[in-house]
Chains A and B, each alone.
Chain A
């Protein structure tokens, strides 16, 4: 044991569930929104502005007894490409991987163009990733391009 407590102790340990780690602090609440944390009724622990070697300040979300579909988790890549997913069963990390940006993002992102059909018709938005390096996405309908860090999340 080192005398420095492990960072994970900053928030409660998890018996079973999902930990989303290494979220840039500025994107934490957008991530919570994407995951639909608000409507969950299991234990949820959210930590923010924790020290991180990689990010300076990071956020973390721990959700007990919930295992999100991969598709949902990958949507986080849109705003937090550095995020890590840990699947925990019986206090043991059984799976650990980085989020992966999908080619298409359906729903979630709102188009910034007020004259876009998606802002005027009851329908789902759809964006295509045009640049993976700086995570730039393009509206499938009106063609407007946005850096996903600046994207409006519904």
Chain B
């Protein structure tokens, strides 16, 4: 049994293994390997999208779910410590999937219980199942993870999904293009990380077709008003990082557009019908990636159990 707290904790081999398992679940979505198992989904911070995805994964695997979707309804609101909540729930379940508004909460939970923990997001820190579904989507659409050009657009400063994806890709010789306004540029620590790992990257403030046309994966993110100290600056840049369908006219045939969703206006609706738009399928891949993560955390040999 093992935990999944941070994408940094997993090796190249484990990433590839999880992708293989996700592929397997895409072919066998109702493979009932969790018969008799109970899984807790503890959402100290609400996130309907992530919770539904995890709970669907457990249900399709034939397991049962208990839990809560909002800390306001739990004993946490009566002042119970995280440690006590985790210890109590550990008595009942085989696996805990938790989301928390505090950073480091999932890491700490692994230290107070032997029940495996899956981190479904801890504040601005980590969200490894999102990264796994991104990696699965990339692998599935490109037929490989190695030697790809990935262009990240929008909020590269606060976007935790782009940071985690960047770090996970270190095993696969990527080339990155970072496209953002000055205020939301990729932080220095991640560029240092690229340098330390021999990862090639370029930075652009202009979202140009020249950059798009070299790209295999176009990873779009939300540019949110509240990230700006200067609201005038937001008004100035908010439409500069929007993808329109005509911008894809001369892009590579294998290019796919990804977005962690929900989107606001950074992808124009006219892109939705382009076969290169992949963001809705990407969300669906989240189900298979999470099925894979759950089985790995529980140490279930999915291939064997199928015989």
Give the interface of A toward B (CB within 8 A): 113, 115-118, 120-123, 139-145
Stretch at the interface among B21-29, B61-69, B98-106, B283-291: B98-106
5 extra A-B contacts, CB within 8 A, seeds A116-B104, A143-B125: A117-B107, A123-B108, A141-B103, A141-B104, A144-B103
CB contacts (< 8 Å) of A144 on chain B: these are 103
| Interface residues in B112-128 (C-beta closer than 8 Å to A) | 122-125
How many A-B contacts at CB < 8 Å in the complex? 46
Closest residue to A113 on the B side, CB-wise?
A: B103
Instruction: Identify whether the interface residues of A are mostly helix, strand, loop, or mixed.
Output: loop
CB-based contact B81/A122 at 8 Å: yes
- Can you list 8 contacts pairing A with B, beta carbon distance less than 8 Å? A115-B102, A115-B103, A115-B123, A118-B108, A121-B102, A139-B104, A140-B107, A141-B105
CB contacts (< 8 Å) of B200 on chain A: these are none
CB contacts (< 8 Å) of A117 on chain B: these are 82, 100, 102-105, 107-108, 122
CB-based contact A142/B81 at 8 Å: no
Least CB distance, A143 to chain B, in whole angstroms? 6
| Interface residues in B84-113 (C-beta closer than 8 Å to A) | 100-105, 107-108
B125 in complex: contacting residue of A118, A122, A142, CB < 8 Å? A142
CB contacts (< 8 Å) of B107 on chain A: these are 117, 140-141
CB-based contact B102/A123 at 8 Å: no
CB contacts (< 8 Å) of A142 on chain B: these are 103-104, 123, 125
Q: Does B204 contact A (CB under 8 A)?
A: no
On whether A123 and B83 interact (CB within 8 A), knowing A117-B103, A141-B103, the answer reads yes
CB-based contact B81/A116 at 8 Å: no
CB contacts (< 8 Å) of B122 on chain A: these are 117
CB contacts (< 8 Å) of A113 on chain B: these are 103
A120 in complex: contacting residue of B102, B124, B125, B189, CB < 8 Å? B102
Which 3 residue pairs spanning A and B have beta carbons closest together?
A141-B104, A142-B103, A117-B104
